[in-house]
Every structure is written in C-alpha cells, then in structure tokens.
Amino acid sequence: RLLAMGKEMGLALPCERTIRNQLTDVVIPAVDIVYQDHMKTVEATVRGVGGKRGVDLAVDGRYDSPGYTATHCTISIIDLSTSLILRVINMHKLMPGIEGISGRMEKEGVKRGLKEVIANQFEIRSVVSDNDARISKMLREESQFQKVQHLLDFWHIIKGVNHDLRELAKKKKCANIQYWRRRIINHGYYVHYRYGRNRQRAINYWKSILAHVTGQHGHFEKVPFLTGIRKCKHKYLPQSVAHQIDRKSEEFRQLKAVIMKPSLLAALERAAPKKNTSPCESFNSLVNLYAPKRIASSHAIYNEKIKLAVMHYNSIAYADLTHTREEKSSYVVKAKGREATGVKRRMTAVDHVWRQQSWSVIHDVIREKRMAEWMKRNHVPDGNAFTAALVMEARDQEEDEMTQRKRMDKRDDEGEESDASIELGGGEYGEGVDSDDEPVYRPIMLSDEDDHASSTDEETEVEVLSSGSEWDEGEVLVIPTGRGRGRGRGRPRGSRGARGGVATSSAPVAEEEGEEGKEEQKVRPKKGVRGKKRRGG
C-alpha cells in the first residue's frame, strides 16, 4: 500500500525488497524486544490484581478468513479482572496436530495457551469460551484442567436460539413466531441475569415461555415440564387471543423443539452470569486494523501484526484501569440489517508508549546488527560462544583467586613462610632465608687452553671491530666481502650493500700486517670488473 501511494503521488520510494529487508532485519527485532517487556509488565499487573485467588480467563479464536479455508487462527486469552491480554497464540494449519484442517486450530491454540499460562505460575480458576464442543471436551479430558471451571458465554448461546427462531418464522405454518422471537430473546437475558447463581431455577423459568405463549401465566404445577415454579414473574396482563399459539398445533411443537433442545439446556446450566467473551470480541475487531482478512501474509509477518494489536489493546485497557480515559460524547448507531440500535462512545485519546519505545529500540538493533557483521567478517565467535568464553574465563580466574586466598590463609594459620620468602629462594623447603646477607660470589676457574682461546677471541674481535678512522693509529677496517643477501651473510650490521673492503686510513701499515694486506688485495676484485662481466655476458 505504501508503494501504491508513492506511485500515485509520484514519490520515489525504496523497492519492495529493500523495505522487506528492513522489516526483517530492523523493525521486527525491535518490536519483539518491546513486546517481551510489555508482556512482562502485563503479567506483573495481573499477579498484583488477581493475587492468590486465581485468574478468570476469557478465550476466543479469530480466523484470518471467513469459511473453512482459513490459514491462521489467533487465540486471545484475556484476564477478566483487568481486561488485559495475558497470552496470544497464533496457529497455522500446517502445524503438528492440525494436519491442514482449519477447524482444529482454535482447540489446539486454546490448549497451548492455557498450558503456557499454567507454566508461568498462574492458577486458573475459571475459563469462559463460546459454545464449542471441542473446547469443552478438551477441558474435560485433559488432566491439567480438571480443577478449572469451564463456563460458556451467554451471547453465543442465545445467538443460536435467535437463528433457529428466525429460520422457523420463515415457515408458512409458524406465522406467530416472528411476533414472539424478540420477546423470547429478552426473556432469556432476563432469567439468565436474574437467576445467575441458581441455574436450575433459571432453566425452569426459561421453559415457562412455552406456557406464556399459549396464554397460561399461572398454575404451572399442572405443566409436566415446569417444576419448582408456580406462575410468571410479570404483572397482570389483559386477556388477549392475538398471537396466541395453540398447544396442539405444529407451530407449538416446532417452538418446543427449539426451547427444549437438550444441548441448549445443558449450555444454559453452564452459562456465566457475570463473565463473557466480549473483551475477546473487541480485540478481534481491533485486529482487523492491523491484519485485515482481505490481505494475506506469511506466518512470521502475521505474528508481528498481532503483537502490535496486542500492545494497542493493552494500552487502552491500562488507560481504563487508571481512569485516564474519559468519554467525550456518544451517539446512536443504526446498523443496516440489525434490529437493535447501538450506542457509539467517543473516548479521549490514549498515549501509546510502545510506539515511542519501538523507535528508540531500533537504534540498538542497528548497532547490534553492525557488531554481528563485524564479528562475522573478522571470524569472531558468535555472541553466545563469545559470552560463554568470557564467563568461563572469569569463573576460572575467580576460582584461582579463591584458591590462592585459601592457601595464604592456611599458611598464616600454620605460621609458614610467606610468598615473598619463596620468591627469594627459600622457605618452601625449610631453608633459611636472610635477605640482609651479602651475596656470595664463587670464582670460575679456567684452564690454560680456555684462557688462551679467550685471549685469541678478544684479539680477533678487536681486529675486526676496529673503526678504521684516522684516530686509530693506522688500523684498517676489514669488511667481509662474501656474496650473500641480508645481514649476517656478507653484510655487517647497518651496511647498505656487499661491496669490497675499503682502507680508511692513509697511514703506513705495520710490517707484521703488510704481507696479509697484499694477499687480500690480490683476492679482491677491481672496481667495475663484476659489472663489465655482467654486461658482456
């Protein structure tokens, strides 16, 4: 949609691949970090409000497409005391246990979500859900949920009754059902909330509608299926035969089949009087803002969209808890195709802190990404291995220091020598150490041959290492001229090349050294001879 907008406005925007890479590498990690901190805050809030009495949860599933072709299913688990989303599970039809059947996603998601809530040390007191037989069976058979009270949302129960009555009113022989349909639904809501604690009495008054539509408002003891009640709770009504239904007619038998349905009576017995799944339905409506059903997405991107919706919804719930969200105005809404009118309330804006937090975390994510690239480029171990190595090194160093400290304490207790005495050469093996004594020098005795060899070496060194200056009284500097590369093979330290020997003094040479000097001059090549041979060759 962003690229389409830029195309229409003539704006040059990055290509789709660049945008998706930025989402994957930068935006998604930042959202994950903020989401984890957000959920930790939510869990702490629920623990503080619920305490040790347990939590009452509402669960519901939302499919990403209508019909039986859904790919994703979002199961929301909301705490009814705070209206905060405690857990969200996103299921995919290709996950294990679902086998590509979309109808199984909600049951598996509820099962996984409740197990995660229990694993986080929450005690579940009750769970409210819609009238789904698979969820009821799962909660009844799973050993972990034996102590959990399963309640049903009354709106989902009465919605089925309204649907059946609407279909029944379309028949030709059931003309009066359309008149009684809305009155029957109102009667159901009345008995449900009026007798919330006494469910059997609520069921009896629910069945009394069959006597009411026939014109009988008292003497219920004569009615076989009405026990424990005597008459209707309303005031006296004038006698009227309009819209009355005959007990022997087909219309009455059809209506009785809907009112006395066994599954309906069993659901009414487990209906929750003060708890419902309306917070879950509100969240499902909010999800359409971030993940519309008309736009498909991958499982990873779908998860990120749901996380944004969760933080948005919880921000509103926090505002309601702290009473910082007030009603500005309200107006009546008449939806097309609906019989009842609704009231729309306009509330004050909510400060969504998680949005600013996501932008601030993006800089840290970029920095960590660059560090990871640098470590990979320089063959540095990954973050986990590098951190583990640092921890192990610090642990070993700490153990060494502890061992050294214990050893020193043990020596102090036993009166042993300190480490300083050991470094001076004694103490460890019981030897006496006195650093104040003068050191003892032992002379080294040499034989006559060693003495003669050492004197010869000294003379040779003096002859070779002579500087050859005019102040050396006629001594000549002799430089080796052997062919070789580098220092040590024909070059003295600091020389620039292997050239012939040069006499640096014009003084007369001593007589004892004259013959040796002439022989060396014969051996040395003349200046420029080697270069001419190379050019000639």
pLDDT at position 20, please? 86
Residue 435 burial (CB count, 10 A): 9
The confidence band for 437, taking pLDDT boundaries of 50, 70 and 90, is: low
Domains of the chain: 14-152+277-335 (3.30.420.10), 156-269 (no CATH)
pLDDT at position 383, please? 57
pLDDT at position 92, please? 93
Say if residue 517's pLDDT is above 90: no
CA 69 to centroid of chain Cα atoms: 29
Q: Is 348 exposed, middle or buried (0-12, 13-18, 19+ CB in 10 A)?
A: exposed
Q: For 89, phi and psi rounded to 5 degrees?
A: -120, 125
Q: At what angle do helices 199-207 and 262-269 cross, to 10 degrees?
A: 140
* Residue type at 393 in one-letter notation: E
pLDDT at position 507, please? 46
pLDDT at position 97, please? 85
The confidence band for 469, taking pLDDT boundaries of 50, 70 and 90, is: very low
Q: For 331, phi and psi rounded to 5 degrees?
A: -155, 160
The confidence band for 465, taking pLDDT boundaries of 50, 70 and 90, is: very low
pLDDT at position 456, please? 52
pLDDT at position 152, please? 95
DSSP SS3 for 27: helix
pLDDT at position 114, please? 96
* Tokens found for residue 115: 């197990």
Of 10-14, 308-312, 412-416, 451-455, the least confident: 451-455
Q: How far apart are the first and last CA of the chain?
A: 81
Question: 226: which strand partners?
Answer: none
- The most confident of the ranges 108-122, 425-439, 512-526 is 108-122
Say if residue 535's pLDDT is above 80: no
Distances (CA, A) of 134 to 130, 263, 317, 368: 11, 14, 30, 46
Say if residue 184's pLDDT is above 60: yes
Q: How far apart are CA 30 and CA 356, in angstroms?
A: 11
pLDDT at position 301, please? 92
Query: Regarding predicted confidence, which is higher, 525 or 333?
Result: 333
The confidence band for 498, taking pLDDT boundaries of 50, 70 and 90, is: very low
Of 166-170, 272-276, 448-452, the least confident: 448-452
Percent of the chain with pLDDT over 90: 42
How confident is the model over 226-267, as pLDDT tens digits?
888 888 888 887 777 788 888 899 999 999 999 999 999 999
Computed over every residue of the chain, the mean pLDDT equals 80
Question: 88: which strand partners?
Answer: 76
pLDDT at position 161, please? 94
pLDDT at position 227, please? 83
Beta strands in 287-418 (DSSP E): 327-333, 342-347
Question: 85: which strand partners?
Answer: 78
pLDDT at position 280, please? 96
pLDDT at position 221, please? 84
The confidence band for 449, taking pLDDT boundaries of 50, 70 and 90, is: low
Give the residue-averaged pLDDT of 165-176. Answer: 91
The confidence band for 506, taking pLDDT boundaries of 50, 70 and 90, is: very low
How confident is the model over 294-333, as pLDDT tens digits?
888 889 999 999 999 999 999 999 999 999 888 889 888 8
* Tokens found for residue 351: 């400060």
Say if residue 2's pLDDT is above 50: yes
Give the residue-averaged pLDDT of 74-84. Answer: 95
The single-letter DSSP state of residue 470 is G
Residue linked to tokens 């939806």: 335
Give the residue-averaged pLDDT of 419-439. Answer: 49
Distances (CA, A) of 236 to 59, 179, 226, 229: 43, 20, 20, 17
pLDDT at position 440, please? 52
Of 59-68, 271-280, 498-507, the least confident: 498-507
| Residue among 10, 75, 55, 494 nearest 303 (CA) | 75
Say if residue 338's pLDDT is above 50: yes
Query: Regarding predicted confidence, which is higher, 435 or 48?
Result: 48
Percent of the chain with pLDDT over 70: 74
How confident is the model over 351-399, as pLDDT tens digits?
899 999 999 999 989 988 888 888 788 777 665 666 677 778 888 888 8
SS3 of 396-462: HHHHHHHHHHHHHHHHHHHCCCCHHHHHCCCCCCCCCCCCCCCCCCCCCCCCHHHHHHHHHHHHHHH
DSSP SS3 for 124: strand
| Residue among 192, 181, 475, 495 nearest 340 (CA) | 181
Say if residue 335's pLDDT is above 80: no
DSSP per residue, 485-504: SSTTSS--TT-SS-------
pLDDT at position 7, please? 87
Beta strands in 116-230 (DSSP E): 124-129, 149-152
DSSP strand pairing (327-333 vs 342-347): antiparallel
* Tokens found for residue 415: 């009166």
Query: Regarding predicted confidence, which is higher, 518 or 122?
Result: 122
- The most confident of the ranges 275-279, 424-428, 467-471 is 275-279
| Residue among 401, 387, 336, 305 nearest 88 (CA) | 305
pLDDT at position 168, please? 92
The confidence band for 224, taking pLDDT boundaries of 50, 70 and 90, is: confident
Who's near 194: CB < 8 A, 6+ residues apart? 202, 205
- The most confident of the ranges 214-218, 235-239, 419-423 is 214-218
CB 108 within 8 A of CB 90: no
pTM for the full predicted model: 0.67
Who's near 527: CB < 8 A, 6+ residues apart? 500
The confidence band for 464, taking pLDDT boundaries of 50, 70 and 90, is: very low
Distances (CA, A) of 281 to 77, 129, 156, 350: 11, 11, 11, 20
